[in-house]
């Protein structure tokens, strides 16, 4: 009798335990709705993306803050100067220094010598060589020899130049970067730049091994900037032909057509050229996955859906 009661008690206990486990399993399997938390701010035309109080006091007017994913959290241009009177980016005020905020929270600076400026509004922060340290890419312009592409990074706790291309040749000869992408599909990033975009530009591909820039393919007859404009993004890196590899889209030198290039063959292949009803003027906008908006100088925009 006693054994029977114990047996019933044991069965009751097992049943309750199974029921509890089942309820627990159902609770765990029930999806919990995820609510995104966000804040919305409508920025009037011409206003900077960040309030001026957030930015350092000596930030270059109308410049952008770059963001890195490794040892550099933020990068911005500073120490405005008028010592390089070219004015290709809308005024004759250029940057004399780069500052970065490290992931550890320190602010580091690199101040250029007085023979040169950063003639650029966009510090581009990428780990180009895959060593888990960020590089900041900028256009440096020298009074004697014009523009070069410069990479800076943090070494031994200091912000220092790491590599630089040869200057174009003389004062006033400028370049405008297109951006950074793996355009040949080998798993390594390339840097794309348009040399002299206002006088018959040349699209140039550079690779970077952590020590030097190596010049690769180039294509003549392109442009990605209107003289005097602050817009440096008149180009796009996107997969136009659907092969999974980024292609380069830039206006022709007269900006009356856009040209799309693949770099994954032995030489750059222009596989598409589209005429525009007015000259391209302003930053291209990529709407993933395959739409490109091209602003035109008459205020219209051309929308291109690649496939
Ligand atoms: Ca790196
Ligand atoms: Ca590559
Ligand atoms: Ca492609």
pLDDT exceeding 70 applies to what percent of the chain?
82
Band the pLDDT of 28: cuts 50, 70, 90. very low
The least confident of 31-40, 112-121, 237-246, 265-274 is: 31-40
| Residue 287 backbone dihedrals phi, psi, to 5 degrees | -110, 105
- 140: CA distance to ligand 1 center in Å? 19
pLDDT in tens, 54-85: 566 788 988 999 999 999 999 999 999 999 99
Give the distance (Å) from ligand 2 centre to CA of residue 188.
4
Query: What is the mean pLDDT of the segment spanning 141-153?
Result: 97
CA of 129 to the centre of ligand 1 (A): 5
114, pLDDT greater than 70: yes
Model pLDDT, residue 148: 98
Burial 133-142 (b: 16+ CB within 10 A, else e): bbbbbbbbbb
Q: What is the mean pLDDT of residues 289-296?
A: 93
pLDDT at 37 over 80: no
pLDDT of residue 265: 79
Query: What spatial distance separates the first Cα and last Cα of the chain, rounded to whole Å?
Result: 80
Give residue 278 CA to ligand 3 midpoint distance, Å. 26
Helix (H, G, I), strand (E, B) or coil at 56: coil
Give the contacts of 111 (CB within 8 A, at least 6 positions apart).
79, 96, 97
Distance CA 138, CA 175 (A): 10
Task: Tell me the HSE value of 242 on the side-chain side, using a 13 A CA sphere.
Answer: 5
176 or 25: which leads in pLDDT? 176
Q: Which residues pair with 101 in a beta bridge?
A: 74, 107
What was the pLDDT predicted at 3? 47
* pLDDT > 80? residue 254: yes
Q: Please state, in angstroms and rounded to a whole number, the distance separating the CA atoms of residues 237 and 177.
A: 11
Residues facing residue 78 across a β-bridge: 59, 97
Ligand 1 geometric centre to CA of 208 (Å): 9
**Predicted local confidence at residue 164, as pLDDT:** 98
Q: How many CB atoms lie within 10 A of CB 106?
A: 11
> H/E element holding 221?
strand 213-222
pLDDT of residue 264: 84
- Evaluate if residue 6 carries a pLDDT over 90: no
**CA pair distance 83, 93, nearest whole angstrom:** 8
The answer to whether the beta carbons of residues 260 and 272 sit under 8 Å apart is yes
State the pLDDT at residue 207.
Answer: 97
Residue 53, pLDDT above cutoff 50: no
pLDDT of residue 57: 73
Q: Is 19's pLDDT higher than 70?
A: no
Q: Are 219 and 201 in contact (CB under 8 A)?
A: no
- pLDDT above 80 for 22: no
- The answer to whether 121 touches 63, Cβ cutoff 8 Å, is yes
Check pLDDT > 80 for residue 222. yes
Q: What is the pLDDT of residue 58?
A: 80
**Can you tell me the distance from the alpha carbon of 20 to that of 15, in angstroms, rounded to the nearest whole number?**
9
Q: Is the pLDDT of residue 23 over 70?
A: no
Quick one: pLDDT at residue 49? Answer: 56
pTM, entire model: 0.82
Considering every ligand atom, which ligand is closest to the CA of 154?
1
Cα of 68 vs centre of ligand 3, distance in Å, is 25
pLDDT for the residue 31: 47
Instruction: Please give the average per-residue pLDDT across 230-247, as a whole number.
Output: 96
């Amino acid at each position: 009798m006693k054994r029977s009661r114990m047996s019933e008690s044991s069965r009751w206990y097992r049943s309750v335990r199974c029921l509890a486990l089942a309820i627990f399993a159902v609770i765990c399997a029930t999806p919990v709705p995820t609510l995104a938390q966000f804040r919305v701010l409508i920025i009037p035309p011409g206003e900077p993306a960040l309030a001026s109080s957030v930015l350092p006091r000596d930030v270059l007017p109308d410049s952008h803050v770059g963001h890195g994913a490794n040892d550099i959290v933020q990068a911005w241009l500073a120490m405005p100067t008028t010592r390089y009177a070219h004015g290709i980016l809308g005024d004759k005020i250029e940057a004399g220094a780069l500052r970065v905020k490290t992931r550890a929270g320190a602010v580091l600076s690199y101040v250029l010598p007085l023979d040169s400026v950063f003639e650029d509004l966009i510090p581009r922060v990428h780990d180009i060589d895959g060593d888990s340290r960020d590089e900041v890419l900028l256009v440096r312009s020298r009074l004697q020899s014009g523009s070069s592409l410069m990479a800076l990074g943090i070494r031994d706790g200091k912000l220092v130049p790491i590599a630089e291309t040869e200057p174009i040749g003389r004062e006033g000869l400028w370049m405008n970067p297109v951006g950074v992408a793996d355009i040949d599909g080998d798993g390594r990033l390339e840097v794309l730049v348009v040399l002299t975009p206002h006088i018959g530009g040349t699209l140039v591909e550079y690779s970077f091994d952590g020590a030097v820039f190596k010049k690769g393919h180039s294509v003549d007859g392109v442009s990605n900037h209107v003289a005097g404009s602050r817009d440096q993004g008149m180009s796009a890196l996107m997969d136009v032909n659907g092969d999974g590899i980024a292609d380069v889209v830039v206006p022709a030198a007269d900006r009356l057509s856009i040209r799309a290039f693949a770099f994954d063959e032995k030489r750059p292949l222009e596989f598409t050229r589209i005429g525009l009803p007015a000259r391209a003027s302003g930053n291209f906008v990529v709407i993933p996955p395959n739409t490109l908006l091209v602003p035109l100088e008459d205020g219209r925009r051309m929308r291109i859906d690649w496939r």
